[in-house]
Structures are given as C-alpha cells and as structure tokens.
C-alpha cells in the first residue's frame, strides 16, 4: 500500500509534467492582446455607453446625469415605437422563413443531386454581396416603374400591383424579401453541414423499418441537429437586431418613418440630431436585446458541454 501511495505521489510531482497554469503557455501569451482588446474595447465601450445613456449629452459626452429621462423620452417617441414594431415583424418572419427555406433547400441538396456544387454556389452567392448592394438591387427590382411590376404588366397582366417599398403598410415586407434572398443561402449551408453529419446507418434503419422520410426528418434528424439549429438561430437573430444597411439602401426609413429600425434610430440621433444621450439610450436597449439572445445560447451550449463531459 505504501509503495502505491509513493508511486502516485511521484507521478504527481514529476518535474517534467507542466502544471495546469503553465500548460499551453505560448498559446495563452499569444491570446493576451485579444483578451485585452475584448476587455478594454468591447467591455469598456459597453459600460461607457450605458453610463452616458443616463446623461444629457448632446454634441459631446458630458457627465450631467438626468436619471431615466432619456429612456422615458425614448419609449415616448413614436419613431422608436415604429422601429420596435418593424423589428418585431421583420425578426419573426425572418427567423421563420430563413430557417424553413434554408432547411428545405439543404434537405434537397442532401439527396446527392447532380450539379450540387453549382447549385450550392448559386444559393450562397447573394451572401457574398454587401447589404448595400443587395438593398440597391432590390430597390430596383421592387420599383413599380422599372422592376417586377413593370415586367409583369408588360406581359399582359395590366392589373398586377407589386410595389411594397412605396406602401407604408407593407414596406417592411419588401425589406424582408431582400434579407431572405441574401441570408437564406448561409442558412442552407449550415443546415447542409449538419445533415452531412448524420450517420448513414440512421437513414438505412429508417428505410428498413418503413418509416416515411418526413417522419425521419421530424422526429430523428431535426432533434439530432439541435446544436446546428441553435447556432443558426443566434446568427440570424443577432443580424436581425442590427439590421441597418438594407433599410438605408432601400427606403432610408421611408415612406415617412414607416420602415424605421432601431439601428437607424441610433445612428440618426447620435450623428445627425447630435443627441448622444438619446442615441446611447437606444443603443443600450439594443444591447439588452442582444444579451437576451446570447445569454440563453451560451448557457445551453456550455452547460450542455459540461453534462456531456
């Protein structure tokens, strides 16, 4: 017994084995600049924004605290309420349609079709474009004088009416069309990567048991792809909260304020209206929205990882 204890102690005290603190020391040293950047720039900037959202800063930041006045003005502003409503509509439909369409395209691509690489490139190509380019392209396509409406009427359907960007009641759906066109390809690629990770024996077993393909997808494949769905959901949701370029390129917030979104509200108040306090308050509300999305995802991922270990 004494020999076993001595042997274990010798192994633990072996001078050649690095301690936990010095293990991968070079990698830890190399990560210091990025860690400092994250702490100083991102965390420091976030705290600075939150702090000055409680001040009456105008053209320049100044520490004259006014309590919750900026937030009261923010939630009393019709423009902010319209932007929140637009973000909710845009977000819900963008999440649903991008996930559904992306998964359906991925399922079709997973059938080992001919020219798969060509189709995958075509579907992913819009994501390589900037949001400004996408917005300008769809601004032209949805223009009633030169776009889809004009082409369809020239074909004989003179009563065809399709001009969402010029109708304040449905303008947000015109922006949604452009967003889906650009982002669905990325969702398809993420879903396709998840489908390719499914063991082939599962498909063989389902065919042997006579299980319909749709049931295999619904009750077997999709639950196994939970991490892929969660990651995709976070990517889409974070993009929804900060949507700005598409709106500016297509409508500039119009007609009137019908297509305003929070990111544009922040930009306009900080750099055009020269009201930093109001812009900081709106930025803080956007930060809270992002935290509501990121924190549950991080909890699910890291807590799940500990359980698996």
Kindly write down the DSSP assignment for every residue of 167-236, as one continuous string.
Answer: -TTTHHHHHHHHHHHHHHHHHHHHHHHHHHTS-HHHHHHHHHTT--HHHHIIIIIHHHTHHHHHHHHHHH
> Is the pLDDT at 183 greater than 50, yes or no?
yes
Domain assignment present for 148: yes
> Could you report the per-residue pLDDT of 234-264, keeping only the tens digit for each?
889 888 988 999 999 999 998 999 999 999 9
**Is position 5 within any domain?**
no
Q: Which of 63-77, 185-199, 221-235, 289-303 comes out lowest in average pLDDT?
A: 289-303
- The answer on pLDDT for 3 being more than 80 is no
Give me the residues paired with residue 55 across strands.
Answer: 65
- pLDDT at position 21, please? 63
For residue 163, the SS3 value is coil
**Lowest mean pLDDT: which of 52-56, 64-68, 202-206?**
202-206
Q: Which residue has the higher pLDDT, 19 or 49?
A: 49
Domain of 257 in residue numbering reads as 70-307
225 closest CA partner among 94, 96, 103, 101: 103
User: Nearest to residue 87, comparing CAs of 272, 232, 289?
Assistant: 289
Helix (H, G, I), strand (E, B), or coil: what is residue 55? strand
Q: Residue 141: is its pLDDT beyond 60?
A: yes
In a domain, 241, yes or no: yes
Report the pLDDT value the prediction gives residue 176, as an integer from 0 to 100.
95
Q: Please tell me the predicted confidence (pLDDT) of residue 303.
A: 67
Q: What is the C-alpha separation between 265 and 284, in angstroms, rounded?
A: 12
pLDDT score of 6 more than 60: no
**pLDDT for residue 77:** 95
Burial class (CB in 10 A: 0-12, 13-18, 19+), 70: buried
3-state helix, strand, coil in the chain (%, to 5): 75, 0, 25
Check pLDDT > 50 for residue 228: yes
| pTM of the shown model | 0.82
Predicted confidence (pLDDT) at residue 27 exceeds the cutoff of 90: no
Q: What distance in Å separates the CA atoms of residue 46 and residue 49, rounded to the nearest whole number?
A: 5
**Could you tell me the CATH number of the domain that includes residue 282?**
1.10.3720.10
Mean pLDDT of 208-218: 88
For residue 10, tell me if it sits in a domain: no
Q: How many CB atoms lie within 10 A of CB 175?
A: 27
The mean pLDDT of the chain is 86
Residue 62 domain-assigned (yes or no)? no
Report residue 16's pLDDT band, with 50, 70 and 90 as the boundaries: low
- When divided into structural domains, the chain yields a total of 1
Segment 60-82 mean pLDDT: 93
User: In this predicted structure, what is the pLDDT of residue 284?
Assistant: 94
Compute the average pLDDT of residues 282-304: 81
Contacts (Cβ under 8 Å, ≥6 apart) of 173 = 89, 93, 164
Is residue 126 over pLDDT 70?
A: yes
For residue 18, what pLDDT is reported? 60
Q: Cβ contacts of residue 244 below 8 Å, gap of 6+? A: 131, 261, 263, 264, 267
65 pLDDT tier (thresholds 50, 70, 90): very high
pLDDT score for 117: 87
Read off φ and ψ for residue 259, nearest 5 degrees: -120, 25
Residue 24 clears pLDDT 80, i.e. is over it: no
Strand-pair partners of 65:
55
Percent over 90 (pLDDT), the chain: 53
The answer, yes or no, to whether residue 156 has pLDDT greater than 80, is yes
Least confident of 37-41, 279-283, 294-298, 299-303: 299-303
Three-state secondary-structure class, residue 255: coil
Residue 245 belongs to a domain: yes
């Amino acid at each position: 017994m004494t020999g076993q204890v001595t042997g274990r102690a010798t192994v633990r005290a072996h001078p050649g084995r690095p301690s936990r603190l010095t293990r991968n020391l070079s990698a830890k040293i190399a990560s210091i600049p990025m860690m400092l950047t994250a702490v100083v720039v991102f965390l420091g900037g976030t705290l600075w924004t939150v702090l000055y959202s409680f001040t009456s800063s105008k053209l320049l930041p100044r520490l004259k605290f006014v309590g919750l006045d900026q937030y009261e003005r923010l939630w009393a502003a019709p423009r902010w309420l319209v932007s929140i409503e637009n973000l909710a509509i845009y977000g819900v439909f963008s999440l649903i349609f991008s996930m559904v369409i992306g998964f359906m395209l991925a399922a079709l691509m997973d059938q080992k079709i001919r020219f798969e690489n060509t189709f995958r490139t075509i579907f992913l190509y819009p994501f390589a474009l900037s949001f400004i380019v996408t917005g300008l392209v769809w601004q032209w396509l949805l223009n009633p004088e030169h776009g889809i409406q004009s082409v369809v009427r020239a074909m004989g359907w003179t009563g065809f009416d399709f001009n969402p960007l010029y109708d304040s009641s449905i303008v947000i759906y015109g922006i949604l069309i452009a967003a889906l066109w650009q982002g669905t390809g990325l969702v398809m690629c993420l879903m396709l990567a998840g489908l390719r990770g499914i063991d082939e024996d599962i498909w063989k077993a389902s065919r042997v048991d006579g299980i319909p393909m749709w049931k295999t997808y619904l009750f077997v494949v999709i639950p196994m792809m939970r991490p892929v769905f969660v990651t995709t959901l976070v990517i889409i949701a974070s993009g929804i909260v900060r949507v700005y370029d598409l709106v500016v390129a297509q409508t500039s917030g119009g007609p009137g304020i019908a297509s305003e979104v929070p990111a544009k509200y922040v930009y306009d108040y900080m750099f055009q209206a020269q009201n930093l306090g109001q812009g900081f308050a709106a930025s803080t509300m956007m930060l809270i929205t992002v935290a509501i999305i990121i924190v549950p995802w991080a909890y699910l991922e890291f807590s799940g990882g500990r359980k698996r270990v």
